[in-house]
Amino acid sequence: MLTTVKNILEQYISLTPETTIIVGFSGGWDSMCLLHIVKKLSDEYGFNLVAAHLNHAWRGEESDDEEANAQRFCAEFDIKFRAERIDDGVKQTEAVAREQRYEFFKRTYDYNKANVLLTAHTKTDNAETILYRIAKGTGLNGLEGIREFRRLNDMNIVRPLLSFSRSEIEAYCMQNELLPNNDSSNQDTRYARNNIRHNIMPRLREINPNVETSLINLAEIAIGNNKIIDELMENIEAQILCNKKWLTQNFMRLNSAIRRHFVYNLLLKNDIEPSFSKVQEVMNFIGDNNLSKSGKTLSLTSTLTLFVSHKFTYVLNEEDTAEKSLREVIITGEGDFPFENRESLVIEKFDKNVEYFPKKTAKFIFADLSQIKFPLVLRTRRDGDIIQPLGMNGKMKLKKYFINRNIPGHQRDKLLLLCQGQEVLWIAGVGMSEKLRVTDKATHKIELKMEI
């Protein structure tokens, strides 16, 4: 078993003192077996090893006891231990628990500048996952099961125990006198995967004692077929892809089977269970909103959102959708006004002839400030904001202006506005107000700069 794990790791990383490996460590049979094996390799090769334990806190004292047992194991074997506890109030479902775990793993991975995350999925887990996906409704992609290697959120994830069954894992733990946690929730058949493990798989073994192997063979066939399909799809993907975004109208011109294939891959790439219903939900959402000018969003997970407009379709992460938190900066006149994110607004006199006016998307403008009274404010948008667009006599709500300019909703909260009260004079990189129009000669240059 140790040799198998070593050979798998060496396919993806170098086992050197400069390497850092994170092991997802619940303290149960599978993860204790894996951590024990990897610790032996760490002693031999000198790489850094960190055990990452997330306390779900769903079973009160039992969860705390499991964390304490995991910490004792790491202390006994001189393994670095990092633990966090899920906040109270988090929804107690399998899907949410999985999201919380991988978010925690990501934080641990980044903090330790790790090279790889190891999880203790086994051959038995893989077979159960394939059966679960069949039950939920899946395609060929879903039949691939758990892959030995994948990249998720800039993490390299390796599953070195996929060739071993749960019975082999348990035998290893007993032979090495390890004392894993016994999570009582693993017996709760209200959870779908536990129902498969305790009720469905035993009945299938009555039909075929080697059902695990048969399901894994099915996965191998699916992987082979998908490789053929992926090669054929590469040319089609080139027609719909632009800067890692789908061209929505090109996507909609594909037949439904090909669209379904791309949606399946999109979900898998973002570590979302590709059930038939989820794929259909995404396809319906794209179809319903493919003509939206400013775009619509669909929540995929707690941290991922699908954005669809008549131009582009793509996935946004939490950072993309989060509002930009900026302090309000008072602009008193000419000068350099710094604020967060290394940006600053510079207003300087301009007494030359303007040879050309910049595009609306530029981060600077020439303006006539002769009729503008200071102070002004640099900030993000607020309810009630208005603007008199360049070339128009009347004013309109800023929201309507954004819609007319096809500015996606998730970008609007990040745009910087130069304002006089609730009236917007300039939206950096988008457009300016008629009130700053240069009719004779520009008085000032206004520029949004980024420190390098």
Dist CA 366 CA 354 (whole Å): 8
Q: Same domain for 115 and 32?
A: yes
pTM, entire model: 0.60
Nearest by Cα to 247 from 234, 255, 238, 256: 238
Q: Same domain for 72 and 188?
A: yes
Domain-embedded: residue 221:
no
Nearest by Cα to 433 from 400, 393, 406: 393
Buried residues in 275-285 as b, exposed as e (16+ CB within 10 A): beebbeebeeb
Q: What percent of the chain has pLDDT over 90?
A: 62
**Quick one: pLDDT band at residue 118, thresholds 50, 70, 90?**
very high
pLDDT for residue 403 is more than 70: yes
The mean-pLDDT minimum among 11-20, 337-346, 380-389 falls in 337-346
Tokens standing for 55? 């306390």
pLDDT for residue 268 is more than 90: no
pLDDT at 88: 73
* Contact in structure between 328 and 261 (CB atoms under 8 Å): no
Average pLDDT of every residue of the chain: 89
* Contact in structure between 240 and 262 (CB atoms under 8 Å): yes
Q: Same domain for 29 and 168?
A: yes
pLDDT at 56: 82
Domain-embedded: residue 147:
yes
More confident residue, 410 or 418: 418
Domain-embedded: residue 301:
yes
Domain-embedded: residue 392:
yes
Q: Same domain for 61 and 176?
A: yes
Tokens standing for 37? 């094996």
pLDDT at 40: 96
pLDDT for residue 320 is more than 70: no
Domain-embedded: residue 236:
no
Mean pLDDT of 170-191: 86
Nearest by Cα to 114 from 52, 32, 162, 34: 52
User: Distance from first CA to last CA of the chain, Å, rounded?
Assistant: 51
**Quick one: pLDDT band at residue 452, thresholds 50, 70, 90?**
very low
Give me the domain span that covers residue 390: 329-450
pLDDT at 240: 93
Domain-embedded: residue 266:
yes
Q: Same domain for 334 and 439?
A: yes
212, 231, 261: which is the final residue of a domain? 212
Mean pLDDT of 27-46: 96
321, 338, 356: which is the final residue of a domain? 321
Helix axes 123-136, 211-240, angle to 10 degrees: 60
Domain-embedded: residue 394:
yes
Query: Can you list the pairs that 146-155 forms with residues at least 24 positions away whose Cβ atoms lie under 8 Å?
Result: 146/121, 148/8, 149/11, 149/12, 152/102, 152/271, 153/102, 153/106, 153/271, 155/105, 155/106, 155/109, 155/114, 155/116, 155/117
Domains identified in the chain, total number: 3
Q: Same domain for 371 and 425?
A: yes
Dist CA 387 CA 393 (whole Å): 11
Helix and strand numbers (H, E) in the chain are 15, 22
Tokens standing for 307? 């954005």
The number of C-alpha atoms within 13 Å of 407 and in the hemisphere containing its C-beta is: 21
Q: Same domain for 88 and 186?
A: yes
pLDDT for residue 174 is more than 90: yes
pLDDT for residue 186 is more than 80: no
Mean pLDDT of 229-240: 88
Domain-embedded: residue 10:
yes
Dist CA 357 CA 361 (whole Å): 11
Mean pLDDT of 82-89: 85
* Contact in structure between 331 and 377 (CB atoms under 8 Å): yes
pLDDT at 360: 82
pLDDT digits (tens, 9 = 90+) for 327-352: 678 899 999 988 766 688 999 999 88
pLDDT digits (tens, 9 = 90+) for 419-446: 999 999 999 999 999 999 998 889 999 9
CATH number at residue 272: 3.30.465
pLDDT at 152: 85
Q: What percent of the chain has pLDDT over 70?
A: 97
Q: Same domain for 194 and 67?
A: yes
The mean-pLDDT minimum among 50-59, 259-268, 312-321 falls in 312-321
Residue 96, SS3 per DSSP? helix
Mean pLDDT of 24-35: 95
Q: Same domain for 307 and 424?
A: no
Dist CA 247 CA 442 (whole Å): 40
Q: Same domain for 208 and 122?
A: yes
Q: Same domain for 156 and 74?
A: yes
pLDDT for residue 14 is more than 60: yes
Residue in the structure block whose two tokens are 């899920």: 86
pLDDT at 109: 95
What are the DSSP calls for 186-199, one per residue?
Answer: GG-TTSHHHHIIII
Residue in the structure block whose two tokens are 């967060």: 340
Mean pLDDT of 244-264: 93
pLDDT for residue 183 is more than 80: no
pLDDT digits (tens, 9 = 90+) for 90-114: 777 777 888 889 999 999 999 999 9
Within 270-360, where are the H helices?
Answer: 276-289, 318-321
Q: Same domain for 313 and 369?
A: no
What are the DSSP calls for 138-168, one per residue?
Answer: --TTGGG-S-SEEEETTEEEE-TTTTS-HHH
Dist CA 194 CA 187 (whole Å): 6
CATH number at residue 102: 3.40.50.620
302, 321, 340: which is the final residue of a domain? 321
* Contact in structure between 216 and 162 (CB atoms under 8 Å): no
**Quick one: pLDDT band at residue 321, thresholds 50, 70, 90?**
low
Nearest by Cα to 100 from 112, 88, 114, 115: 88
pLDDT at 449: 87
Mean pLDDT of 28-46: 96
Sorted by sequence, the CB contacts under 8 Å of residue 283 that are 6+ apart come out as 256, 259, 260, 263
Nearest by Cα to 433 from 404, 407, 398: 398
pLDDT for residue 218 is more than 50: yes
Chain center to CA of 349: 45
